Chain A
Amino acid sequence: MGTKEINISIKELETELGQIKDLRMSVGRLAQETWDEPQGPTPFPSLTTLRNWDLTLLNRYRPFYLPLCDLCCLCTYGKCDLTGDRKGACGISMPGQQSRIVLLAACIGAATHMNHAREMVTHLVHTYGDEKKLDPGGLSIKVEAPITRLVCGMKPETLGDLEAVLDYAEQQIGALLACTHTGQEGNPLDLESKVFHTGMIDHLSMEVADIAQVSAYDLPKADPDAPLVEIGYGSIDTTKPVILVIGHNVVPSVGIMDYMQDHDLTGELEVAGICCTGIDMTRYSARAKIVGPISWQIRYIRSGIPDIIVVDEQCIRTDVFDEARVQQIPVIATSEKNCLGLPDRTGDPVDDIIDEFTRGTLEGALILDPEKVGEIAVRTATINAPKKRKKKKAKLTLKEGMEEAKKCTQCRECRRACPNDLHIPDALKLFARGDSAMLAGVYDACVGCIRCEQACSEDIDIHSLITLTAEERLEHESYKLRSGRGAIQDIEIRQVGGPIVLGEIPGIVAFVGCANYPSGGEDLAEMAMEFANRRFIICTSGCAAMTIGMYRDADGKSPYELYPGNFEAGGIVNVGSCVSNSHIAGAAIKIASIFARRNLRGNYEEIADYVHNRVGAVGVAWGAMSQKAAAIAAGFWRLGIPVIVGPHGTKYRRMLLGRADRDEDWYVTDARTNERIYVGPVPEHLFISVETKEEAMVMIAKLSMRPNDTSRGRALKLTHYIDLHRRLLGSMPADIHRFVRMEADIPITMKEDIVAILKEKDWKETVIPDPTLIRKKEVVS
């Protein structure tokens, strides 16, 4: 929209009314309106503006609380035992407490993205000026910021405009966090509504962060042909100096790559990333590489390969400095949010710091100037690498590893500490006898948390033994990942909008989130390819996007080489890092706006209602671990998009489940006639944890159904659901009758079987409405 801060200062003014001296006026920002779409009903919504919409969803998808403990220990009244229907000293009930914890988690996640966005925008405004134009997709994108338009009712045009969006987000997160204080909100459903609000603010913040970095750093602009980049432990050329960057904020990495570019050093060093900084580095320069997702931190640091480690913010192991010290790798912390206890050397001369790093008298430093970080990291790594190679520590041999394994007393504490309950003691026993195969197998499902080592009474470096036995596998980890493309083009939305809304493209599946997988990362690649083959549109981001790339078919090709990067049926679309998740939600919103021409501006409820009833999108966070993942999921919930998590997901403390057997829950209003129509349980759940990859695949197909599906679309979706249920769960699903609205919905190839089931269930035909959950005014006859 273009905004200007207006400051008026009058030193001395004489008028007919009198004399004015030293008058100063500030009127905040003056909007320069360039958007002719009429303002909708809910621009900049407060905590309660969308409460009715939330309660409509929560009335259908009720919370099932799964307390991780029976107590509340948030204040000094407590600890309070909330078992059963007991209340705490403040009056809070167990459901209220669980919702409160969910809200806290979502607030942490949203604050993290929001502050990331704030740091990013502040830095970019400082570097490029607040009038720098936003350009997330050139001519391919007219709706540049769908979430911002939808939530705030404003059309941001410059970096400066994004500051106003963040002002709003910060105010909201502050208020939401305040709700969790003892003695504030205690009603579980009101807390859940606030969780949804937090999720919406999270998506808004992610969008700000990503469109700012795409615009300023010239990252791929909605480019389906974003370059294929290298990923994997084995893809890093260890003959060169190696800079390892970990975290989720690309600014310091840009400092590193710019310094290399400016000094003709590109290609002389390896810049390798772990987590989302890795992804965003490759969006900035396709020569950067990615080691892997979050769980690769310990194994890569312990390899001793990095010559310097630079950490920014989020998802960084808090013991990264301890681990690096053991390997004598210097560490640079670059964020005020993650100082690691290191001395602040931001103001010191670069040469002094490099001298101390290379002499080994300084183990780590906090440096809050990204350009300085660039120079120090590059020069230090260049000096240290040859020295380090020369006096490289001898690696543990397999034989030495076996001797170490003999110390195991089979107490089983390592297994009892392992979140995946891996059979580590049995594997160690075999390894001690010379058979390393089982321990190498443990590697596949190991999430790299090293809780096993913390539990070991014999101080065995269990994780190091696991990676030792899997060394060959590690060295062959070299794959191709399509770099994050950013937003979805408007033209792509136009092309697929109709088939999606009518159900003829069976769905959009978003594989997102962390890497805490229950049985290894291959599950994710397999699921993504299965649904791409079924002509769903696959979107992905962050650690999930990396994991999908770390797979090879028989010809050695990764999914990104096998499937196109277009937002089309059968495409596998890597949008980018965690903050790029906003483009997935943005695509769903743009379908309503660009394809269906619904007003977007400040019109959240109508658009969410459209998305929920018409866009067959499903989120899958198979290894979700963090609070950020909780916030991202919450943003999808408010849009009415269901999210599936893996078995660890029950530890998020509550599900949002529908009851297929309660017919009364599945009525919508037909917007054409104002009649109430039964549409069946579509989508059946809003947030559900499933146990196995097979169950997840069946659930994805099931949750892609929507009330608005045409018969052709529904028949297609039913085909996938029934086919997967038969193949993976062994039988026809028992609930088919709930999804068939009329005979035309029945897949032709399965007609005989289904008709028999319908007869048995006393099925009756119904109609396909123009579905809405929003209560409309009486239709005037």
Chain B
Amino acid sequence: MNQESWLTAEVPGPKKASLITKPEIADAMIRRASRPVFVVGSIASEIDLEEKKLIDYVIRLARQFQIRVIATGSTNTAFLARDFTPDAVMPAVDAGFRLADPAWQGVDGNGPHDLAIFVGLPYQMGFTILSGLKHFAPSLKTISLDNVYQPNARWSFSNISIKNWIINLEAIIGNKEEE
């Protein structure tokens, strides 16, 4: 486990994401949040996690934790194909820009989000948008649930294998199911 960016040259600054070393960390972050939101990029519907795609895990998590969902890129199509309607469809940078505004009332108009969970964005987009939030949205917590280290999130997995990733995602979902 280490804090090395997935793209080697994207060296992070002094402030780097803490590692999600066990699924309980992400689980606790999500449970403690009162207004979490997913920002789900186009790669979520492309990545194979054995028989499922990453987006299938996102949907399970969103449903179980009642997390609002922003679909970026063309991810909306993949959500709809799975009978899941995201709360908003917008470009990832637009989502980031709004999340950085403490006055933004969120995708449902019910108040600012306190946790943004990023997953499935092209690596460099996630890196830069999370950097924007790290610097300009001090009250917003961010997590990356990709299997690569995103140093600009508040919390991120390390660069982990697909197998390990599945175990972690299943565990987060499982923890909730046990409640």
- Interface of A with B (CB < 8 Å)? 62, 64-71, 81-85, 94-95, 413, 416-417, 419, 421, 455, 518, 647-648, 650-651, 653, 655, 657, 659, 661, 685, 688-692, 694-695, 699, 728-731, 733-734
Contact = CB atoms under 8 A, between A and B. Distances in A.
Given A421-B123, A689-B125, 10 more contacts: A64-B97, A64-B132, A68-B10, A416-B7, A417-B8, A650-B125, A650-B129, A651-B128, A659-B101, A661-B98
Interface in B3-29: 6-15
26 contacts: A64-B93, A64-B132, A66-B128, A67-B13, A67-B131, A68-B131, A70-B12, A70-B13, A70-B14, A70-B131, A84-B15, A416-B6, A416-B8, A648-B124, A650-B128, A651-B124, A655-B97, A689-B93, A690-B73, A691-B72, A695-B73, A728-B74, A729-B76, A729-B77, A730-B80, A731-B80
A70 B12 CA distance: 7
Contacts of A657: 93-94, 97
B128 A731 contact: no
B76 A730 contact: yes
Nearest to A693: B74
Interface string B106-146: 00000000000000011111001101101110100000000
Residue among B11, B89, B96, B129 with the most chain A CB within 10 A?
Answer: B89
B132 A66 contact: yes
A83 B135 contact: yes
B132 A67 contact: yes
Residue among A66, A685, A690, A734 with the most chain B CB within 10 A?
Answer: A66
A417 B129 contact: no
Contact of A694 (B74, B79, B81): B74
Contacts of B94: 657, 685, 688
B92 interface: yes
B88 interface: yes
B169 to A, nearest CB: 20
A74 to B, nearest CB: 15
B36 interface: no
A5 B135 CA distance: 54
A779 B80 CA distance: 52
A421 B7 CA distance: 8
B55 to A, nearest CB: 13
B158 interface: no
Nearest to B92: A691
A70 B122 CA distance: 21
Nearest to A455: B8
Contacts of A690: 73, 91
A721 to B, nearest CB: 13
Contact of B13 (A81, A417, A661, A728): A81
B8 A730 contact: no
Listed from nearest, the 7 A-B pairs whose CB atoms lie closest are A70-B13, A691-B73, A730-B77, A694-B74, A66-B128, A650-B128, A64-B97
B59 interface: no
B14 A83 contact: yes
B122 A421 contact: yes
B168 interface: no
Contacts of A66: 93, 96, 128-129, 131-132
Contact of A731 (B76, B91, B100): B76
A695 B74 contact: yes
B156 interface: no
Nearest to B6: A416
B42 A691 contact: yes
Contacts of B88: 734
A650 B130 CA distance: 11
Residue among B10, B11, B15, B97 with the most chain A CB within 10 A?
Answer: B97
Nearest to B91: A690
Contacts of B123: 421
Interface of B: 6-15, 41-42, 72-74, 76-77, 79-81, 85, 88-89, 91-94, 96-98, 100-101, 104, 121-125, 128-129, 131-132, 134-136, 138
B38 to A, nearest CB: 15
A676 B121 CA distance: 40
A605 B135 CA distance: 34
A692 B13 CA distance: 28
Contacts of B11: 69
A691 B121 contact: yes
Contacts of B135: 65, 67, 70, 82-84, 94
B128 A64 contact: no
Nearest to B9: A417
Nearest to B14: A81
A695 B128 CA distance: 19
A729 B42 contact: no
A419 B41 CA distance: 17
A84 B133 CA distance: 9
B19 to A, nearest CB: 18
Contacts of B7: 416-417, 419, 421
B73 A694 contact: yes
Contact of A68 (B6, B8, B73, B128): B128
Nearest to A660: B94
A321 to B, nearest CB: 24
B122 A647 contact: yes
Contacts of B77: 694, 728-730
Given A71-B14, A83-B15, A65 B132 contact: yes
B124 to A, nearest CB: 6
B74 A692 contact: yes
B91 A518 contact: no
Given A64-B93, A413-B8, A689-B93, A518 B134 contact: no
A318 B28 CA distance: 50
A71 B11 CA distance: 11
Contacts of A416: 6-8
Given A83-B15, A659-B98, A691-B92, A647 B134 contact: no
Nearest to B71: A729
A82 to B, nearest CB: 8
Contacts of B97: 62, 64, 655, 657, 659
B93 to A, nearest CB: 5
A661 B101 CA distance: 12
Nearest to A64: B97
A412 to B, nearest CB: 9
A692 B91 contact: no
A624 B119 CA distance: 25
Contacts of A653: 128
Nearest to A698: B74
A696 to B, nearest CB: 10
Contacts of A694: 73-74, 77
A468 B54 CA distance: 34
A653 B131 CA distance: 10
A68 B12 CA distance: 8
B74 to A, nearest CB: 4
A456 to B, nearest CB: 12
